[in-house]
Amino acid sequence: MTTTRFAPSPTGYLHLGHAFSALFAAKQGDRFLLRIEDIDPVRCKPEFAEALFEDLSWLGLSWEKPVRFQSQHFEDYRANLEKLRAMDLLYPCFCTRSEILAATHAPHEGETPVYPGTCHRLSKDQREDWMATKPYAWRLNVEKAIKMTGPLSWHDAAKGEQQAKPQIFGDIVLARKDIPASYHLCVVTDDALQNIDLVTRGEDLFDSTHIHRLLQALLDLPTPDYHHHPLCRDAKGWRLAKRDKSVTLRSMREQGRTPEQVRNEVLGLLHT
């Protein structure tokens, strides 16, 4: 019995790429769950969550209820953050985005730069002083964490056995300045709490799995199998984006296309 999930963020209308991801997950699971990743109250909107239920139903999908909304489970994320803090694996980071950008360079255009470890080197006094006066995020001391767990691996259905390389992102943020959690922390917590044993998602998230594997080991959580699928691209080879209205499921439905036609279109877009 395999449990899979589709975990969109309600930041816009779903497009063909999401349709593929959702169909892919549903097809591989005996149980299929939907999770709304809405921890960011600025970017996520309840109306987009409503719209995605509608669009996925129209596409012919159904899922177990109740749907898990991450914004209703900050206690779960806090508990895991506390565990890591008790293991002395976290440190507060006061850096602003522009300070980080000035101190490093992003590996590729648009990518998050690898954090240079500035706040890890603060003195105890400085740290305590700033904690009382400045906003801060919590970062994971990845080198220390890796020493604790030793080498780790995980399995991807498309690419086979992987040696975990969690250091590629540097010391990642587990709780943001504005939100007491982060994508990595929430995903790992929820996949375990929801007993997901096969995580299917786009290959743009392949590298995140290195971090997720490390967090699972630190928090003593089971490691699911993974299947990172290719992304749907338009005729020019560009990734589909939520801001491109022409490919939203909504606009296709309004133009009179049937769910069957859209499902076929999705398969056609998949350049493997």
Q: Compute the distance between CA of residue 213 and CA of residue 123 in angstroms, rounded to an integer.
A: 31
Smaller CB separation from ligand GLU, 205 or 219:
205
Q: Compute the distance between CA of residue 173 and CA of residue 151 in angstroms, rounded to an integer.
A: 21
CB of 8 to ligand GLU, least distance (A): 5
Determine, following the binding rule CB under 6 A, whether residue 40 of this chain makes contact with ligand GLU: no
Determine, following the binding rule CB under 6 A, whether residue 15 of this chain makes contact with ligand GLU: no
Determine, following the binding rule CB under 6 A, whether residue 8 of this chain makes contact with ligand GLU: yes
Determine, following the binding rule CB under 6 A, whether residue 213 of this chain makes contact with ligand GLU: no
Q: List 237's β-bridge partners, or say none.
A: none
CB of 198 to ligand GLU, least distance (A): 12
Determine, following the binding rule CB under 6 A, whether residue 187 of this chain makes contact with ligand GLU: yes
Please give the full DSSP string across the chain, using - where no structure is assigned. Answer: --EEEE----SS--BHHHHHHHHHHHHH-SEEEEEE----TTT--HHHHHHHHHHHHHTT----SSPEEGGG-HHHHHHHHHHHHHTT-EEEE---HHHHHHH---SSTTSPPPP--GGGG--HHHHHHHHHHS--EEEE-HHHHHHHH-S-EEEETTTEEEE--GGGG-S-EEE-SSSS--HHHHHHHHHHHTT--EEEEEGGGTTHHHHHHHHHHHHT-PPPEEEEEPPBB-TTSPBP-TT-GGGBHHHHHHTT--HHHHHHHHHHHB--
Determine, following the binding rule CB under 6 A, whether residue 182 of this chain makes contact with ligand GLU: no
Determine, following the binding rule CB under 6 A, whether residue 209 of this chain makes contact with ligand GLU: no
Chain positions 63 to 82 lying near ligand GLU, rule: CB under 6 A, are: none
Determine, following the binding rule CB under 6 A, whether residue 201 of this chain makes contact with ligand GLU: yes
Question: Applying CB under 6 A, which part among 4-12, 107-115, 165-173, 216-224 lies near ligand GLU?
Answer: 4-12
Distance set, CA 34 to CA 8, 98, 219 (Å):
8, 36, 23
CB of 243 to ligand GLU, least distance (A): 14
Determine, following the binding rule CB under 6 A, whether residue 7 of this chain makes contact with ligand GLU: yes
Determine, following the binding rule CB under 6 A, whether residue 205 of this chain makes contact with ligand GLU: yes
CB of 98 to ligand GLU, least distance (A): 25
Question: Applying CB under 6 A, which part among 5-13, 26-34, 81-89, 249-257 lies near ligand GLU?
Answer: 5-13
Question: Applying CB under 6 A, which part among 7-15, 105-113, 140-148, 250-258 lies near ligand GLU?
Answer: 7-15
Residue of the chain from 20, 32, 33, 37 that contacts ligand GLU (CB under 6 A):
37
Smaller CB separation from ligand GLU, 8 or 92:
8
Residues that bind ligand GLU (CB under 6 A): 7-9, 37, 187, 201, 205
